[in-house]
A = this chain, B = another copy of it.
């Protein structure tokens, strides 16, 4: 009695993560519209709210994005006057990214969006904690 059902795309962990990521970005979109931010831009802002006045390479380490991705994102945030990009006087190769007043001022409000989104998900604290840890394990081990 082989009751195995047809194999499905959703049997895949990788597909599940991929789909969850797309779903999260879609769900954040209407919430972030109020701040005129995309999801990756929101992540960069969060990185800066954690540690301000860093150069692009540091931001790259924090976000896991490469410089070719970050440069245009940070430029767009500069256009929106949420941050400034100026050369490091000590080392002119480096660009120091600093939050502007308005970049800092939206921090508390914008961080609340995380709760708004998570409220839509029935997973409990423990499950989310585990999910986060397992994802970071994958990141760490695949980036070796």
Contacts and interface: CB of A to CB of B under 8 A. Distances in A.
Interface of A: 6-28, 39, 43, 46-47, 50-51, 62-65, 114, 117-118, 120-123, 127-128, 130-139, 141-144
B118 A13 contact: yes
Given A18-B43, A19-B64, A120 B136 contact: no
A49 to B, nearest CB: 8
Q: How many monomers of this chain does the complex have? A: 2
Contact of A131 (B16, B141, B142): B16
Contacts of A135: 13, 16-17, 19-20, 131
27 contacts: A6-B50, A9-B62, A9-B63, A10-B132, A10-B136, A12-B114, A13-B118, A13-B128, A14-B24, A14-B28, A14-B114, A16-B139, A17-B17, A17-B20, A17-B131, A18-B21, A18-B25, A19-B135, A22-B64, A23-B138, A120-B142, A121-B141, A122-B137, A123-B138, A130-B130, A130-B134, A131-B134
